[in-house]
Structure 1
Amino acid sequence: MTKISDLTPVEKDLYLWQGDITTLSCDAVVNAANAQLLGCFRVLHSCIDNCLHSAAGLSLRYRCFEIMREQGHEEPTGQAKITPGYNLPSKYVIHTVGPIVSGRLTDQHCELLKSCYLSSLKLAEENGCKSIAFCCISTGVFGFPQHKAAEIAVSTVKDYKKTTSSDIKVIFNVFKDDDLMIYRNLLNC
């Protein structure tokens, strides 16, 4: 398990960490979810959605089922829901549905991805979170170009922190080496 206190900020309240998000101890980790919020439907798939649901345990899937049943419709792209972390070292999981890019990247894709970050940050703060870890939302099977997604992630978080009185600590969690290099360049570290 890695604690946020084990990490060194790259700048005030911003962190970059390469590792398994299911082992990160912070207040909230962000799940790049599908619109059903029920976890990945591909057995043993290595996506973040499957990894988080598997590590958190069946209670997470059941709580997501309850949320969706109460809501009565799929989760809109760019929005977020919060659940307990159950068996994860994080207190909460924030589930956000990123845009699916199949073809040319559009301004709407970019605005929806920005909304994922903003919705997650606001929901985390509403629930008293002092730290949040973002995975690389939409860059896996959802096809969002990695570099553009990272640019949106970093600029959205920085703008949010400038325009609010937020002192929430934000961890950009990467798993792949190429994502690490992209974020290092964007964060000048």
Structure 2
Amino acid sequence: MSSGNNISTSGQPSTVRQLFNNRVIRESQKVDNIKPNELLLDKVSVCRGDITVIDVDAIVNAANESLLGVDGAIHRAAGPELLKECRLLNGCDIGDAKITKGYKLPARHIIHTVGPVYHSEYEGTIAGQLASCYKRSLEVAVEKGLKSIAFPCISTGIFGYPNMKAAKIALTEIRRFLESDIGKQIEQVVFVVFLERDDKTYKELIPQIYPLTKTDVLAS
């Protein structure tokens, strides 16, 4: 379930525009050379809750290279057929993504991506790998004709990626993809966070990376 002013993932996640309108997030003074994009305010959503109950074309599973059940919650919710299909995929490289059916999930598909384990001495390399997880997941979605996709916080938790750095990469890479020609097919991207600290992090960063237009600022 969600907390604060966010909507539960069993319902409809709040778009960036709704979060601004409901004063859940506010205009940031830290926007540097980032142009507002009106369309993104309605395409990007965020909520705190359980990604396995969200009804989208695909949810993303933060997996390991074997693809054999790192996220127990997703495998439990999808049922045993998911593991059987994953065994046929011959694993997945770090930064890449592969797709399976969603089975018993509300989501029709699961896109499995392998994030990097964080090591500060390889900051540049692993940042590129993490960005690739988001890009490749979206590319796979587009290849399959999917319109909506939900992401967890990839590489945080046991993989050790600092939450603020990971969230900034996620939000930036998603924006870059949605503004590309290929990204116009995607109609909704949902960031589903589980921990309170990630909820706060996304609320802090979203106004910086998805700022309001001048018209929206005046209206607010």
TM-score by structure 2 length?
A: 0.76
Structure 1 pair 63–147 and aligned structure 2 pair: CA distance change class (3 A): same
Contact 1:3–1:26, Cα closer than 8 Å, also in 2? no
Larger radius of gyration between Structure 1 and Structure 2: 2
Aligned to 2:218: none
Contact 1:60–1:86, Cα closer than 8 Å, also in 2? yes
Q: Report deviation, 1:187.
A: 1.0
1:183 aligns with 2:205: no
Q: Specify which of 115, 118, 124 is matched with residue 107 of structure 1.
A: 124
1:23 aligns with 2:53: yes
Aligned to 1:55: 77
1:65 aligns with 2:87: yes
For 2:76, the aligned partner's letter is S
d(CA) in 2 for partners of 1:61, 1:38? 6
d(CA) in 2 for partners of 1:19, 1:186? 19
d(CA) in 2 for partners of 1:18, 1:104? 31
d(CA) in 1 for partners of 2:65, 2:58? 20
Query: Which range is displaced more, 164-173 or 141-150?
Result: 164-173
Structure 1 pair 105–19 and aligned structure 2 pair: CA distance change class (3 A): farther
Q: Percent of pairs identical after alignment?
A: 41
Q: Which contiguous aligned blocks of 4+ residues in structure 1 show a shift greater than 2 angstroms?
A: 1-4, 102-105, 164-168
Cα distance per residue 1:61-120 (max 9 Å; x no partner) = 00000122xxxxx41100000000001110000000000114545100100000000000
Aligned to 2:13: 7
Q: How do 1:146-185 and structure 2 match up within 5 A?
A: 146-164=163-181, 165-185=184-204
Q: How do 1:55-134 and structure 2 match up within 5 A?
A: 55-68=77-90, 74-104=91-121, 106-134=123-151
Q: Report deviation, 1:3.
A: 5.8
d(CA) in 1 for partners of 2:110, 2:46? 19
Structure 1 pair 64–167 and aligned structure 2 pair: CA distance change class (3 A): closer
SS at match of 1:94: strand
Contact 2:94–2:113, Cα closer than 8 Å, also in 1? yes
Contact 2:58–2:110, Cα closer than 8 Å, also in 1? yes
How many pairs align? 175
Structure 1 pair 60–7 and aligned structure 2 pair: CA distance change class (3 A): same
d(CA) in 2 for partners of 1:20, 1:176? 10
For 1:29, the aligned partner's letter is I
Q: Report deviation, 1:12.
A: 2.2
CA RMSD across the alignment: 1.6
TM-score by structure 1 length?
A: 0.87
